[in-house]
Amino acid sequence: MSGETLLLDYGSGGRASHRLISDLFLRHFDNPILGTLNDAARLDLTGPLAMSTDSYTVDPIFFPGGDIGTLAVHGTVNDVSMLGARPRYLSCGFILEEGLDMDILERVVASMGKAAREAGVFIVTGDTKVVPRGACDKMFINTTGIGEILVDPAPSGDRARPGDAILISGSMGDHGLTILSQRQGLNFAADVCSDSASLNRVVEKLVLEVGDIHVLRDPTRGGLATTLNEIAGQSQAVCHVLETAVPVRESVRNGCSFLGLDPLYLANEGKLICILPEERAEAALAVLREGPHGEHAARIGSVKSVGELGAARAGQVVMETALGGHRLLSMLEGEQLPRIC
Amino acid sequence: MSGETLLLDYGSGGRASHRLISDLFLRHFDNPILGTLNDAARLDLTGPLAMSTDSYTVDPIFFPGGDIGTLAVHGTVNDVSMLGARPRYLSCGFILEEGLDMDILERVVASMGKAAREAGVFIVTGDTKVVPRGACDKMFINTTGIGEILVDPAPSGDRARPGDAILISGSMGDHGLTILSQRQGLNFAADVCSDSASLNRVVEKLVLEVGDIHVLRDPTRGGLATTLNEIAGQSQAVCHVLETAVPVRESVRNGCSFLGLDPLYLANEGKLICILPEERAEAALAVLREGPHGEHAARIGSVKSVGELGAARAGQVVMETALGGHRLLSMLEGEQLPRIC
């Protein structure tokens, strides 16, 4: 299919659709379940299960550190994992613009296949729609994932408890700054690169080996600040964060400063927040440091009860600044960056 | 949110996204699982499971008999059902164009909620992306469904056997002609209306009460002709269809004749093909007639072995015409109609 462009009839359900399925999807996503070609895939899986969905509209499609295809695998694998689950199966829905270069589609499909194999998940069912030129911008991908929840109770946003340690698995803002700089045609330092990665193996070690993980959440859209606000709200607690403890690469810090962005509000695609009892923090950090992009894993603060931090109310995030002051870290207001993921 | 238009920051993951979730999605999709607001939903479900995904890009969004929201529920509920499964949970991913009228979004979300309640499924996890004006046409919806497979072996496209009866649950072409006539601004007879409907309850009766269902498939994109070709190919058999037995409403027949379309290639969104042993055909027809749009349910032909019908080869569909001749019914070639579903 190299050198061709995508025609409307590739989404017709007719002969051209079948060719796309056999020449492209079955080849790169090869697995026995997808190959049955029924309306639905048959899965042998026992609950309790975690299910999560995300649509990916990132612009540009290709960027340093990944592309829309890797993102569509990593992002959904990670969301399923955050419930303390082992992701097993993904569905994949493409919306493609008529006239798309088939080589671009094939590169993305190949990336997805590789990312799925690396994460140990199967893409088992799919759908392709082709819309007329101008009705979508190049391509959008939806993936939905399911997997087995490994522990009971599962990590959940409402389980942060006063005294718990707050850890993050690496530096903040890499993905968001990478996308923005690509879009603006800016060239920052060579190490400004998306952190897009699957975190399922790290999560499995956290929940099965470290144990008693209260909250897992990946700080994607809205960044660390927004995600901590969600957790503080769900748990009716206060999150206390030390500004100096939050790892941000120097190149990302410089890029953000140049563009007037705050790395704490930028999306990450291969990082997680882990909240757990203080006495297990060191063991969890050791696991995080061995995971993807884990070299800067750090303890960034702790969960406080209402009243412990002056006037801070339940659901708030308080940051202790480098100079020792305190300021409220609110949820993202407005939009820094559309089509970040 | 009435009277507002959709802004980019509704997809930011920040405060506006949270407002959209609580004011709109939680209200219309209300269920305890969605309400936990974690990255993934926790489901208590035991395998074997069926999983299916579809993206909906239909244009126009609203049409006689349904809208993009009902279609997104019915279509995926039906695909999961076709594996002889009881659909239980849906995910839902919206891609929305900046500037969309919030009243339109709310109408669609309300339709989805109503269709899900009627089908007895929960929408348990979701995602919303807002893309800049011009990057998508109004709205696209992906739904992915999972459910419990009720019988073993499950119905499958490769299980059609010579001697089996081929049934369809109602008239062909209603959805496809409806969309096309809307798009062209044509006004056909008042009963030209989409057949969009959930078939899960009918399927449950077929597999549990009638039993021994070999194949279930809903003839959506590509229509009856393409779907029968898929089944004949998967089962390495010949499908023999009587032209006069295929129910097509007079209004649909007239509309197709006017537009030069063949109703056997038009999409249906609330019909199924059921292939099963001859001796169970009457019992199955009785079930189909009580289902949605079931008044024209009919036996349209039978499965033949290679050699029974002259030179017809495995994987072919042979139609006996009204005049007694035979012609091959091939898969859809080209595209009659983009953005049909």
- pLDDT tens by residue, A138-155: 999 999 999 999 999 999
pLDDT at B167: 98
> Is some CB atom of chain B closer than 8 A to the CB atom of A125?
yes
Q: How confident is the model at residue B203 (pLDDT cuts 50, 70, 90)?
A: very high
Residue A187 annotated as lining a ligand binding site = no
Task: Give contacts of B 228-257 with A, CB under 8 A.
Answer: 230, 234
Which of A94, A136, A338 shows the shortest C-beta gap to B130? A338
Question: Which chain A residues have a beta carbon less than 8 Å from that of B130?
Answer: 338
Say which DSSP state A10 is in. Answer: G
ipTM of the complex: 0.94
Q: Does residue A337 surpass a pLDDT of 80?
A: no
| Other CB atoms within 10 Å distance of the CB of residue B7 | 16
pTM, full prediction: 0.95
Q: Which residue of A has its CA nearest to B14?
A: A332
Q: Does residue A102 surpass a pLDDT of 60?
A: yes
Q: How confident is the model at residue B16 (pLDDT cuts 50, 70, 90)?
A: confident
Question: Which chain B residues have a beta carbon less than 8 Å from that of A38?
Answer: 82-83, 156-157, 217
pLDDT at B1: 66
Question: Which chain A residues have a beta carbon less than 8 Å from that of B36?
Answer: 156-158
Residue A174 annotated as lining a ligand binding site = no
C-beta atoms of B132 and A335 within 8 A: no
pLDDT at B327: 92
| Calpha distance B41→A143 (Å, rounded) | 15
Binding site members of B for Mg(2+): 39, 54, 79, 127, 218
Lowest mean pLDDT among A6-10, A337-341, B183-187, B195-199: B183-187
| Calpha distance A316→B58 (Å, rounded) | 42
Which of A85, A127, A136 shows the shortest C-beta gap to B54? A127
pLDDT at A152: 93
> Is some CB atom of chain B closer than 8 A to the CB atom of A95?
yes
> Could you give the count of Cα atoms lying within 13 Å of B293 in the half-sphere of its Cβ?
26
Question: Which chain B residues have a beta carbon less than 8 Å from that of A52?
Answer: 39-41, 91, 125
C-beta atoms of A335 and B12 within 8 A: yes
C-beta atoms of A53 and B144 within 8 A: yes
pLDDT at B189: 62
Question: Which chain B residues have a beta carbon less than 8 Å from that of A220?
Answer: 13
Segments making up each domain of chain B, as ranges:
5-149, 164-328
**Torsion sign (Cα): B185, B179, B92, B112:** positive
Cα end-to-end distance, chain A, whole Å? 27
CB distance B229 to B317 below 8 Å: yes
> Could you give the count of Cα atoms lying within 13 Å of A100 in the half-sphere of its Cβ?
29
C-beta atoms of A48 and B43 within 8 A: yes
> Is some CB atom of chain A closer than 8 A to the CB atom of B295?
no
- In chain A, the percentage of residues whose pLDDT exceeds 90 is 79
> Is some CB atom of chain B closer than 8 A to the CB atom of A76?
no
pLDDT at A325: 92
Residue B247, preceding bond cis, omega within 30 degrees?
A: no
- In chain A, the percentage of residues whose pLDDT exceeds 70 is 98
Q: Does residue A336 surpass a pLDDT of 80?
A: no
CB distance A291 to A285 below 8 Å: no
Q: What is the mean pLDDT of chain A?
A: 93
Which of B42, B129, B336 shows the shortest C-beta gap to A154? B42
Distance from CA of residue B272 to its chain's centroid? Answer: 9
Helix A68-81 and helix A102-119: axis angle, to 10°? 30
Q: How confident is the model at residue A1 (pLDDT cuts 50, 70, 90)?
A: low
Average pLDDT value for residue range B227-242: 96
C-beta atoms of B234 and A79 within 8 A: no
Can you name the CATH fold of A164-328?
Phosphoribosyl-aminoimidazole Synthetase; Chain A, domain 2 (3.90.650)
Which of B39, B335, B339 shows the shortest C-beta gap to A79? B39
| Calpha distance B93→B144 (Å, rounded) | 9
Which of B125, B149, B218 shows the shortest C-beta gap to A51? B125
Average pLDDT value for residue range B237-257: 95
pLDDT at A18: 85
- Tens of pLDDT along B302-312? 999 998 988 89
Question: Which amino acid makes up residue A212?
Answer: D
Average pLDDT value for residue range A179-193: 79
Question: B58: closest CA among B173, B133, B138?
Answer: B138
pLDDT at B24: 92
Q: Which residues contact A244 (CB under 8 A, 6 or more apart)?
A: A322
Question: Which chain B residues have a beta carbon less than 8 Å from that of A134?
Answer: 134, 137
Q: Does residue B264 surpass a pLDDT of 80?
A: yes
Question: Which chain B residues have a beta carbon less than 8 Å from that of A14?
Answer: 221-222, 226, 265, 331-335
Task: Give contacts of A 8-27 with B, CB under 8 A.
Answer: 8-9, 11-18
**Superfamily for the A5-149 domain:** PurM-like, N-terminal domain (3.30.1330.10)
pLDDT at B190: 65
Tokens of B110: 């309300």
Q: Which residue of A has its CA nearest to B225?
A: A14
Select from A6, A12, A220 the residue whose CB has the most chain B CBs within 10 Å, as the one to mutate to test that interface. A12
pLDDT at B336: 56
**Torsion sign (Cα): A337, A340, B1, B2:** positive
- Tens of pLDDT along A35-86? 888 889 999 998 899 999 999 999 999 999 999 999 999 999 999 999 999 9
C-beta atoms of A47 and B51 within 8 A: no
Q: Does residue A189 surpass a pLDDT of 90?
A: no
- Tens of pLDDT along A233-270? 999 999 999 999 999 999 999 999 988 889 999 999 99
pLDDT at A129: 94
